[in-house]
């Protein structure tokens, strides 16, 4: 009991578990790597001079930032309305849409990339269609340029921005907008002055995740882009393959980290910034709209009537644009986005039934040979099972320490919060190969190299970042007064957290857990280093022979992976997400 009270006074302590894991597995080695990049013990800037002495490296660095910023902006531009429409949908449709958004994220990136060449390639569907109808005489250069890179990157990153947005938007009390509307605000004004500011934490955490992950992209730009569309990781990957020099690679990683910090601090790294402040701002803005405080009271009293609130909520979406027009536009937008997200996956499904020896579209014949090759080979399904186990452990571990850390961060001074957020994000900001090297060195010290535990820890350090970002987004909108109210009614801090805070931020926690699982399930580069040839995960199995030949079994595996989340997420939603908004509504009723 006392401990919890102490924690209440010193919330920063809650970040201790996350920081401890980071420090032991990753922090100490990264400091050692920093010393290596400075050529310790001689200490010189030779590695950094070597980097900045190459104009090409600087240009690629700038290009990396440029591509990441543009991709993030496109993601936000498409993702925000999509998330809005998803949240506005009925409960079951919403669940289905969320699952559909995540599905493409699970199929192998390599197969998805190939699917894009099937769509926009020189001999792809679009070009063939146009050629067959005589509209063009030679294929349009739709692929192998910057545009294709954006198409591919946004396709992969869109779920990453939609999910945090959805989890924040679900926490926004819809009756606030109804209130604004009922008080004469126009639909757009109600959205812009009430809903949008409240959704900012989601915008911030989603864009942050997307931007940071985009920085490390290399397969998609290499496969869909032209020769010049290289990103820093593309160049680093070929460097690591041919001429490996730890000091040089580490120096480049620290330069990239520095750039990431600069860009992030410009975008606003403080994920919890809206807490309190926006509420005030939003409050002020609509207070000023009111004719009188008497009127405010009158309308507020009406909010208590749940039936009326519900009708307004329903009205709100119909009236968000202009009645039935907005419905049509919204539905069409959703359909277009879903088509964009799912169509490549659909091609993968078709290709997985191919009878040929190569990935082809359209398939030459139908067969189940690649499914047989998966289920007939223990090394495939054993790898899948290993990955699921590791993913589950990573999700549990990182969700626990990540949620605590996010909670602690939301209660501390902004400056400290910014610094610690950056520290926690380092493992996702860094080029993955450098994270791999650092983790390897860390696990050697712990004697956990090549063990399941080692791989779990290696994945956890990255997964914590996802959890912290997404949970922080949800926490930013959380009204602390609710917790204080609970405490004033003699709830212990623990009870207040469990009964008030936790249910309200559950969408964020579930979202964080999903991404923690996916991060682990997808991880290749770090695993290949720290698995010590004893732990075989599914990505390792999928990528083991990619150097020479694409085994179409990965198309079958991708399809199985796309089916898996439909089961998993339905379970998760039934357990977790469902109670989010309803309890929020119940509480908001109490508040008034």
- In DSSP notation, 182-244 reads HTT--HHHHIIIIIHHHHHHHHHHHHHHHHHHHHT--HHHHHHS-TT---HHHHHHHHHHHS-
246 binds other proteins (CB under 8 A): yes
Q: From the CB of 589, what's the least distance to other proteins, in Å?
A: 42
Q: From the CB of 541, what's the least distance to other proteins, in Å?
A: 8
Q: From the CB of 205, what's the least distance to other proteins, in Å?
A: 29
Residues 6+ apart with CB under 8 A from 523: 458, 459, 462, 537, 539
Q: Which is nearer to other proteins, 145 or 327 (CB)?
A: 145
Q: Which is nearer to other proteins, 242 or 293 (CB)?
A: 242
Does residue 446 contact residue 27 with C-beta atoms inside 8 Å?
A: no
Q: At CB < 8 A and 24+ separation, what contacts does 58-64 make?
A: 60/230, 60/231, 60/232, 60/235, 61/232, 61/255, 61/256, 61/259, 63/229, 63/230, 63/231, 64/215, 64/231, 64/232, 64/233, 64/256
Taking contact as CB under 8 A, which single stretch among the options 209-217, 307-315, 324-332, 527-535 is the one that binds other proteins?
527-535
247 binds other proteins (CB under 8 A): no
Residue with tokens 């595996």: 557
528 binds other proteins (CB under 8 A): yes
Residue with tokens 């990540």: 402
Site string for other proteins, 119-148 (x = CB under 8 A): --xxx--------------------x----
Taking contact as CB under 8 A, which single stretch among the options 191-199, 225-233, 500-508, 584-592 is the one that binds other proteins?
225-233
Taking contact as CB under 8 A, which single stretch among the options 11-19, 75-83, 356-364, 476-484 is the one that binds other proteins?
356-364
Query: Count residues contacting other proteins (CB under 8 A)?
Result: 80
223 binds other proteins (CB under 8 A): yes
- In DSSP notation, 133-199 reads TTS-SS----SSSHHHHHHHHHHHHHHHHHHHHHHHHHTS-HHHHHHHHHTT--HHHHIIIIIHHHH
Taking contact as CB under 8 A, which single stretch among the options 11-19, 239-247, 401-409, 515-523 is the one that binds other proteins?
239-247
393 binds other proteins (CB under 8 A): yes
Select from 38, 65, 97, 384 the one that contacts other proteins (CB under 8 A). Answer: 384
Q: From the CB of 29, what's the least distance to other proteins, in Å?
A: 10
Q: Which is nearer to other proteins, 59 or 499 (CB)?
A: 59
d(CA 377, CA 448): 28
Q: Which is nearer to other proteins, 76 or 240 (CB)?
A: 240
Binding to other proteins (CB under 8 A) within 547-586 occurs at 547-551, 560-561, 563-564
388 binds other proteins (CB under 8 A): yes
Helices and strands in the chain, H and E counts: 31, 0
Does residue 74 contact residue 156 with C-beta atoms inside 8 Å?
A: no
230 binds other proteins (CB under 8 A): yes
Q: From the CB of 357, what's the least distance to other proteins, in Å?
A: 6
Q: Which is nearer to other proteins, 114 or 191 (CB)?
A: 114
Q: What is the DSSP letter of 25?
A: I
Q: From the CB of 554, what's the least distance to other proteins, in Å?
A: 10
- Cα 437 to its chain centre, rounded Å, is 24
| CB-CB neighbours of 578 under 10 Å | 16
540 binds other proteins (CB under 8 A): yes
Does residue 82 contact residue 334 with C-beta atoms inside 8 Å?
A: yes
Select from 298, 358, 366, 590 the one that contacts other proteins (CB under 8 A). Answer: 358
**Best CA proximity match to 124, nearest among 106, 108, 144:** 144
d(CA 60, CA 55): 9
529 binds other proteins (CB under 8 A): yes
Does residue 427 contact residue 436 with C-beta atoms inside 8 Å?
A: no
Q: Which is nearer to other proteins, 78 or 530 (CB)?
A: 530
Residue 396: both structure tokens together: 């549990």
Residue 450: both structure tokens together: 């090549």
Select from 375, 414, 488, 592 the one that contacts other proteins (CB under 8 A). Answer: 375
Binding to other proteins (CB under 8 A) within 32-91 occurs at 54-57, 59-60, 63
Site string for other proteins, 422-461 (x = CB under 8 A): -----------x--xx--xx--x-xxxxxxxxx-x-----
239 binds other proteins (CB under 8 A): yes
Q: Which is nearer to other proteins, 100 or 240 (CB)?
A: 240
151 binds other proteins (CB under 8 A): no
Select from 26, 80, 114, 478 the one that contacts other proteins (CB under 8 A). Answer: 114
d(CA 592, CA 590): 5
Select from 241, 288, 292, 293 the one that contacts other proteins (CB under 8 A). Answer: 241
């Amino acid at each position: 009991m006392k401990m919890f009270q102490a924690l209440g006074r010193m919330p920063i302590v809650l970040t201790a578990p996350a920081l401890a894991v980071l420090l032991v597995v990753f922090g100490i080695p990264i400091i050692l790597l920093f010393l290596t990049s400075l050529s310790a013990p001689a200490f010189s800037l030779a590695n950094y001079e070597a980097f900045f002495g190459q104009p090409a490296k600087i240009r690629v660095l700038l290009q990396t930032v440029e591509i990441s910023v543009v991709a993030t902006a496109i993601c936000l531009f498409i993702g925000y309305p999509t998330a809005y429409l998803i949240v506005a949908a009925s409960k079951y449709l919403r669940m289905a849409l969320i699952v559909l958004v995540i599905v493409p994220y699970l199929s192998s990136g390599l197969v998805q990339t190939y699917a894009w060449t099937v769509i926009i390639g020189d001999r792809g569907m679009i070009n063939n269609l146009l050629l067959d109808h005589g509209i063009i005489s030679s294929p349009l250069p739709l692929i192998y340029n910057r545009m294709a890179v954006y198409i591919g990157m946004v396709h992969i990153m869109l779920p990453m921005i939609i999910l945090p947005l959805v989890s924040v938007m679900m926490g926004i009390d819809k009756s606030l907008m109804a209130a604004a509307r009922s008080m004469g605000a126009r639909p757009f004004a109600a959205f812009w002055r009430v809903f949008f500011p409240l959704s900012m934490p989601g915008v911030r955490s989603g864009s942050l995740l997307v931007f940071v992950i985009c920085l490390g992209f290399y397969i998609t730009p290499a496969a869909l882009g032209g020769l010049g569309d290289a990103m820093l990781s593309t160049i680093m990957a070929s460097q690591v393959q041919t001429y490996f020099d730890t000091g040089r690679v580490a120096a480049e990683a620290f330069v990239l980290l520095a750039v990431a910090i600069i860009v992030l601090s410009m975008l606003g790294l403080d994920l919890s910034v809206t807490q309190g402040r926006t509420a005030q701002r939003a409050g002020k803005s609509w207070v000023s709209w009111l004719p009188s405080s008497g009127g405010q009271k009158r309308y507020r009293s009406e909010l208590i009537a749940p039936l009326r609130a519900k009708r307004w909520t329903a009205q709100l979406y119909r009236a968000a644009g202009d009645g039935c027009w907005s419905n049509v536009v919204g539905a069409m937008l959703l359909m277009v986005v879903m088509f964009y997200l799912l169509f490549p996956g659909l091609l993968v499904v078709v290709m997985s039934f191919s009878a040929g020896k190569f990935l082809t579209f359209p398939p030459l014949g139908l067969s189940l040979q690649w499914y047989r090759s998966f289920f007939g080979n223990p090394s495939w399904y054993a790898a899948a099972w290993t990955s699921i186990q590791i993913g589950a452990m990573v999700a549990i571990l990182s969700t626990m320490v990540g949620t605590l850390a996010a909670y602690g961060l939301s209660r501390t001074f902004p400056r400290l919060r910014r610094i610690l957020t950056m520290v926690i994000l380092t493992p996702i900001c860094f080029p993955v190969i450098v994270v791999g090297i650092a983790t390897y060195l860390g696990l050697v010290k712990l004697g956990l190299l090549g063990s399941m535990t080692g791989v779990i820890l290696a994945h956890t350090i990255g997964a914590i970042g996802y959890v912290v970002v997404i949970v922080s987004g949800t926490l930013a909108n959380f009204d602390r007064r609710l917790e204080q109210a609970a405490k004033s009614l003699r709830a212990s801090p623990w009870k207040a957290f469990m009964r008030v805070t936790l249910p309200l931020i559950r969408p964020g926690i579930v979202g964080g857990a999903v991404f923690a699982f996916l991060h682990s399930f997808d991880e290749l580069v770090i695993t290949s280093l720290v698995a010590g040839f004893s732990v075989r995960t599914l990505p390792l199995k999928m990528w083991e022979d990619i150097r020479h030949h694409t085994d179409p079994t990965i198309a079958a595996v991708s399809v199985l992976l796309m089916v898996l989340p439909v089961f998993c997420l339905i379970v998760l939603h039934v357990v977790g997400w469902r109670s989010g908004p309803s309890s929020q509504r119940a509480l908001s009723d109490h508040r008034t």
